């Protein structure tokens, strides 16, 4: 299985180096702009003590842990993920604190829960990797109780920009990266997909994450790896990719590197049974 960030999250357990994926998640979880997006999506769930809540594709479990605090002392937060590597790290991070989530292995398209049990279900940066996002959202709608909320947070890789004077190369690289995802345009479709899953009172907002250091952008957007892959695939000439990357390094040294990605937060409510 590939260690490429655009494709490897569908099978982290089979990666040559699962730490590539763990590092990416830790980097983003610590980025101030991303923290604000995560916190807004947690607030959108409207959880109160005693609720049951699900974070699907929980990764390292940070948001499942935050949900556990919101529903304590009598509620239950569940973090579900397809990767046993991620779940092991999540359980280790949660430690032995009194308020912690329960972690469950599973596929978001076939949730191992009865219908109508969760007051709130959340998914972040996972629908971009699955073959049929609508099937996962339909499952989230099924396990949400009437009156409960389904919240999704996904990027739209068509809204990823890097400041460069090599406009044609930057455009081609962004397109190559976007098209490497199973669902690179998932962000713009979230509201429609929630409605198609039978949810109502749909709200969608866009939030951008700016990264102004090349090291951060490399950790989460794989710029050099993507350039190599685009060259190997014949999508870019070698020299053009080299000049593009060299300019990014110069700008980074001068403190003027700039990249931005738009995330969309979407919420739907289950009104009918």
Among 6, 8, 12, 190, binds ligand SAM (CB under 6 A): 12
Beta-carbon contacts of 254 under 8 Å, excluding residues fewer than 6 positions away, are none
Binding residues for ligand SAM, rule CB under 6 A, total: 20
* Position 124 contacts ligand SAM (CB under 6 A): yes
Integer Cα distance of 138 and 149 in angstroms:
13
Smallest gap from Cβ 111 to ligand SAM, in A, equals 9
* Position 129 contacts ligand SAM (CB under 6 A): yes
Nearest in space to 149 (alpha carbons), one of 119, 125, 180: 119
Smallest gap from Cβ 82 to ligand SAM, in A, equals 4
Binding mask 24-53 for ligand SAM (x = CB under 6 A): -x---x------------------------
* Position 217 contacts ligand SAM (CB under 6 A): no
Residue ranges of alpha helices (H) inside the chain are 19-30, 32-45, 62-71, 84-94, 133-143, 167-180, 186-196, 214-221, 223-232, 238-253
* Position 199 contacts ligand SAM (CB under 6 A): no
Smallest gap from Cβ 74 to ligand SAM, in A, equals 25
Smallest gap from Cβ 155 to ligand SAM, in A, equals 10
Backbone phi, then psi, for 73, in 5-degree steps? -95, -15
Question: How many of the other CB atoms lie within 10 Å of CB of 159?
Answer: 18
Asked if 262 contacts 186 with a C-beta cutoff of 8 angstroms, the reply is no
Among 8, 22, 45, 59, binds ligand SAM (CB under 6 A): 59
The footprint of ligand SAM (CB under 6 A) covers: 9-10, 12, 25, 29, 57-59, 81-83, 86, 107-109, 124-126, 129-130
């Amino acid at each position: 299985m590939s260690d490429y960030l655009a494709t490897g999250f569908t099978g982290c357990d089979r990666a040559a180096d699962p730490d590539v994926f763990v590092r990416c998640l830790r980097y983003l979880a610590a980025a101030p702009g991303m923290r604000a997006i995560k916190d807004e999506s947690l607030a959108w769930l409207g959880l109160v003590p005693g609720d049951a809540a699900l974070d699907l594709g929980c990764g390292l479990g940070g948001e499942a842990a935050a949900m556990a605090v919101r529903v304590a002392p009598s509620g239950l937060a569940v973090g579900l993920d397809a990767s046993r590597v991620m779940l092991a790290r999540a359980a280790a991070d949660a430690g032995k604190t009194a308020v912690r989530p329960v972690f469950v292995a599973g596929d978001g398209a076939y949730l191992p829960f009865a219908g109508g049990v969760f007051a709130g279900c959340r998914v972040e940066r996972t629908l971009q990797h699955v073959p049929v996002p609508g099937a996962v959202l339909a499952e989230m709608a099924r396990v949400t109780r009437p009156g409960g909320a389904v919240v999704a947070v996904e990027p739209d890789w068509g809204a990823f920009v890097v400041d460069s004077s090599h406009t044609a190369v930057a455009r081609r690289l962004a397109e190559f990266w976007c098209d490497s995802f199973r669902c690179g345009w998932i962000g713009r479709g979230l509201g429609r997909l929630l409605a198609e899953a039978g949810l109502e009172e749909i709200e969608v907002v866009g939030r951008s994450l700016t990264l102004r250091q090349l090291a951060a952008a490399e950790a989460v957007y794989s710029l050099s790896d993507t350039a190599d892959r685009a060259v190997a695939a014949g999508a870019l000439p070698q020299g053009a990719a080299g000049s593009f990357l060299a300019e990014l390094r110069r700008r980074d040294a001068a403190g003027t590197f700039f990249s931005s990605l738009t995330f969309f937060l979407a919420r739907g409510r289950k009104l009918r049974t």
